C-alpha cells in the first residue's frame, strides 16, 4: 500500500499528490511514468512522474479528473492509501548534451513538461519554455516553470492571461527569426503536439513528443500502447514514452485513443460501488 502524504488542488479539475514510494523515488527520472491502482478491483492507470524527492522517498503525480479512476483518486485525502504504485517505467528524457532547448507544454501536459525542463536546465542547457492553457483560471505551475526557464512565454486560448493564441505561434516566430534549438520537446494534447511538429519540421529541428496512448501492463507484453513511428510498431511503455514527433502517425494515435470513449462515459455515469451496494443489502 502507498500513502498519500500531500494533496493540493491546482485548479478545479487538476490535482497534485505526493505518494510515499521510496523505491520508485530512488530510481525515477524526468520523462518516466508510473501505473497506479486504487484498489484490488481498480483499473491500471499510467501517469507520468511530475517530480520526486529521493531523500523523502516521495513521488509527485499531477492528474486531471476526467474518468472514473482519476475522479476516484481525486476523492482520496492525505493519509489515505492506494493499492499499487508501480514504476519508474519507460525511458527517461535524454537531457544530456543539449545546449539550447525549447519545452512546449499544453494544459495538464505541463505537469509532465516541468521535470523535463528542469532536467535540461540542470544538465546545462539554455531553456525556453512555452506553455498554453485555455484560460487564466486553469493555469498551473507558472512559478515553477519560471524558476527553470531562461525565457518563459505564457499563452491562453482566450487571451485572459499572457499572450492570446496557441503555443505554436511564439514557436513559429522564434524559428522564423532565426532562433535555433538542439531540441524541441512537446508535451500536451495530441493535436497540440502534432502541430508543434508541423511547425518545426520545415526548419529541421529535432522534435520529441511524449505519448500516453491506451496502456495496460506497462511492460511491453499487452501491446495496448502500440504506436506507429517511422512506419514501425513501437510500444510507448518500453520504447517511449518519448518519440521523434516528425515520424509519429498522429492520425492512428488519435483514432486509437478514443476507442473506449463511449464505454468510459457509460462507466462514469452508471458505476455502482459494490461495497456500498453490499452495505445497503445488509441494512435491508
CATH number at residue 177: 3.40.50.80
Inside any domain, residue 267 = no
Let me know whether 36 and 145 are in one domain.
Answer: no
Let me know whether 74 and 107 are in one domain.
Answer: no
Inside any domain, residue 84 = yes
What pLDDT, on a 0 to 100 scale, did the predictor assign at position 174?
A: 97
* Beta pairing class for 126-133 and 151-156: parallel
**Beta partners for 154?**
131
- Confirm if 33 and 79 have CB atoms less than 8 A apart: no
Let me know whether 108 and 222 are in one domain.
Answer: yes
Domain's final residue, options 22, 57, 89: 89
Let me know whether 24 and 77 are in one domain.
Answer: yes
Domain of residue 82 covers 2-89
Any residues with CB less than 8 A from the CB of 43 and at least 6 apart, and which? Answer: 37, 68, 69
Let me know whether 30 and 164 are in one domain.
Answer: no
Let me know whether 240 and 112 are in one domain.
Answer: yes
Let me know whether 252 and 119 are in one domain.
Answer: yes
Inside any domain, residue 276 = no
- The pTM (predicted TM-score) of the whole model is 0.85
Inside any domain, residue 182 = yes
Let me know whether 121 and 226 are in one domain.
Answer: yes
Inside any domain, residue 269 = no
Inside any domain, residue 94 = no
Let me know whether 121 and 230 are in one domain.
Answer: yes
Any residues with CB less than 8 A from the CB of 39 and at least 6 apart, and which? Answer: 82, 83
Let me know whether 151 and 244 are in one domain.
Answer: yes
Angle, CA of 69, 74 and 75, to the nearest 5°: 100
| CATH value at residue 73 | 2.40.30.10
Let me know whether 176 and 52 are in one domain.
Answer: no
Let me know whether 51 and 163 are in one domain.
Answer: no
User: How many C-beta neighbours within 10 Å does residue 224 have?
Assistant: 17
Q: How many domains does the chain have?
A: 2
Q: Is 65 exposed, middle or buried (0-12, 13-18, 19+ CB in 10 A)?
A: middle
Taking only the tens of pLDDT, the chain with its 284 residues reads 999 999 999 988 899 999 999 999 999 999 999 999 998 888 888 899 999 999 999 999 999 888 888 899 999 999 999 999 998 999 999 999 999 999 999 998 999 899 999 999 999 999 999 999 999 999 999 999 999 999 999 999 999 999 999 999 999 999 999 999 999 999 999 999 999 999 999 999 999 999 988 778 878 888 888 899 999 999 988 998 999 999 999 888 888 776 556 666 665 566 665 555 544 555 55
Domain's final residue, options 89, 116, 144: 89
Amino acid at each position: 500500500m502507498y500513502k498519500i502524504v500531500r494533496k493540493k488542488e491546482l485548479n478545479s479539475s487538476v490535482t497534485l499528490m505526493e505518494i510515499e514510494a521510496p523505491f520508485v523515488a530512488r530510481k525515477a527520472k524526468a520523462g518516466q511514468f508510473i501505473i497506479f491502482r486504487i484498489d484490488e478491483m481498480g483499473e491500471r492507470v499510467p501517469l507520468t512522474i511530475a517530480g520526486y524527492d529521493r531523500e523523502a522517498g516521495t513521488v509527485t503525480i499531477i492528474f486531471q479528473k476526467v474518468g472514473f479512476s482519476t475522479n476516484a483518486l481525486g476523492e482520496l485525502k492525505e493519509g489515505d492509501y492506494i493499492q499499487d504504485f508501480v514504476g519508474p517505467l519507460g525511458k527517461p528524457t535524454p537531457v544530456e548534451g543539449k545546449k539550447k532547448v525549447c519545452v512546449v507544454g499544453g494544459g495538464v501536459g505541463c505537469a509532465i513538461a516541468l521535470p523535463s525542463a528542469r532536467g535540461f536546465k540542470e544538465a546545462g542547457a539554455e531553456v525556453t519554455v512555452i506553455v498554453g492553457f485555455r484560460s487564466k483560471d486553469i493555469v498551473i505551475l507558472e512559478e515553477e516553470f519560471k524558476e527553470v526557464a531562461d525565457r518563459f512565454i505564457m499563452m491562453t486560448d482566450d487571451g485572459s492571461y499572457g499572450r492570446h493564441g496557441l503555443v505554436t505561434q511564439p514557436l513559429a516566430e522564434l524559428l522564423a527569426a532565426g532562433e535555433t534549438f538542439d531540441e524541441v520537446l512537446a508535451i500536451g494534447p495530441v493535436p497540440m503536439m502534432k502541430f508543434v511538429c508541423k511547425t518545426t519540421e520545415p526548419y529541421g529541428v529535432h522534435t520529441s513528443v511524449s505519448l500516453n496512448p491506451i496502456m495496460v501492463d506497462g511492460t511491453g507484453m499487452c501491446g495496448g500502447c502500440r504506436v506507429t513511428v517511422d512506419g514501425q510498431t513501437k510500444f510507448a511503455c518500453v520504447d517511449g514514452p518519448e518519440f521523434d514527433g516528425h515520424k509519429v502517425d498522429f492520425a492512428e494515435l488519435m483514432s486509437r485513443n478514443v476507442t473506449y470513449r463511449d464505454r468510459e462515459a457509460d462507466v462514469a455515469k452508471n458505476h455502482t460501488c459494490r461495497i456500498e451496494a453490499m452495505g445497503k443489502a445488509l441494512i435491508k
